[in-house]
Amino acid sequence: MQKQIARIEITGAIAGPTRKRVLEALKTIEDRRFPALLLRIDSPGGTVGDSHEIYSALKRLRDKIKIIASFGNISASGGVYIGMGAEHIMANPGTITGSIGVILRGNNLERLLEKVGVSFKVIKSGPYKDILAFDRELTDPEKDILQELIDTTYQQFVQTVAEGRNLAIETVRSFADGRIFTGQQALELGIVDRLGTEADARRWAAELVGLDPEKTRCHTFEERKPLLSRLLSGGQQSLLCRQGLPGLAAGADWLEFEMSTAGLPLWLYRP
């Protein structure tokens, strides 16, 4: 058995690349027989499917090792869902968490297209094949279909939180209305077990598996990028910082996520 604790960090919006990296890391952690996993979550959430796959993998691994989730600055919506795969959860008192719910977003550019004289001719196999098309308003039947989709996904979220935290479904529903709350409030609601830092969570994980909490260190599973990509990324980040635009790259990543997930149900905190 390893004398180290495994550590995975989930940051930013959760989508395909995050899912792939985390699932690969979880398989390695199982194969190398780490006694415990520290899961650091600093994410506003993300796509439903990717969040659920990570949660399911954590739940399976939890039968073999101890898993402690540490909520960082923000662990909301899909971040909470993933956290339900851990046996224990710790958050900072000021962590932004909650936002339990589902959102589906589309764009209606009909009026803009009319101004520039652009229209689309659509041939479709059924009345709902172009649901959420950006060049027209939703019809009432389409709204009903999408609302049913959202309601079903929401029920799945509520059920998972209720089971993961040993709470009644109606109790979860009472605060699962999209609101956000602090780590302190989450403790009072039963969403987290303790308040503390990531270091406190690491010591807790060590204690649970009989390791020295003061000496045990973490082996972090990070995303490995090709050398050229790392060099270019570092150079671009340095250039952006010199130009006073350190957040531009992160903004571009977020914009890409927004565009690629239009029309998908999301477990995502939207401030």
Which residues are tagged catalytic?
77, 129
Q: Strand, helix or coil at 216?
A: coil
Q: Residue 43, CB half-sphere, CA atoms under 13 Å: how many?
A: 27
State the DSSP string of 30-61. HHTT-SEEEEEEEE-EEEHHHHHHHHHHHHHH
What SS3 string covers 84-148?
CCCCEEEECCCCEEECCCCEECCCCCHHHHHHHCCCCCCCCCCCCCCCCCCCCCCCHHHHHHHHH
Instruction: Provide the greatest CA pair distance for the chain.
Output: 70
Tokens matching residue 256: 């890409």
Give which of 136, 158, 125, 130 is closest to 263, Cα–Cα.
130
Distance CA 85, CA 161 (A): 10
24 three-class SS: helix
Burial call 208-230: b when 16+ CB within 10 Å, e when fewer: bbebeeeebebeebeeeeeeeee
